Amino acid sequence: MILKLIESFSSVADKVILTPIMGSREINTYGIDSKQLQDKIDGAYLLETFQDVADFIKQNAKPNDLVITLGCGDIYKAAKLILE
């Protein structure tokens, strides 16, 4: 499953922005963290906060770029900060 994720991001996205993986109700059965993903995904950046994500997007996104925020929990907060 993790390999498919890495392949998908590496082959489709120009840039991938990761944040730390936050624990929810589930146990990290794969024992993987965001730094390990960053090391394997071409063009990936690891940013610590949603504000860091918003700032990066605002500085790097160009007209007609597609920006997707994806995850569980409160990742929607990053999208709101991008729109400010």
Question: How confident is the model over 45-66, as a mean pLDDT?
Answer: 94
CB 45 within 8 A of CB 17: yes
Q: Does residue 23 have a pLDDT over 70?
A: no
Mean pLDDT, the chain, whole residue set:
84
Confidence of residue 34 (pLDDT cuts 50, 70, 90): confident
Q: What percent of the chain clears pLDDT 90, i.e. is strictly above it?
A: 39
pTM, entire model: 0.79
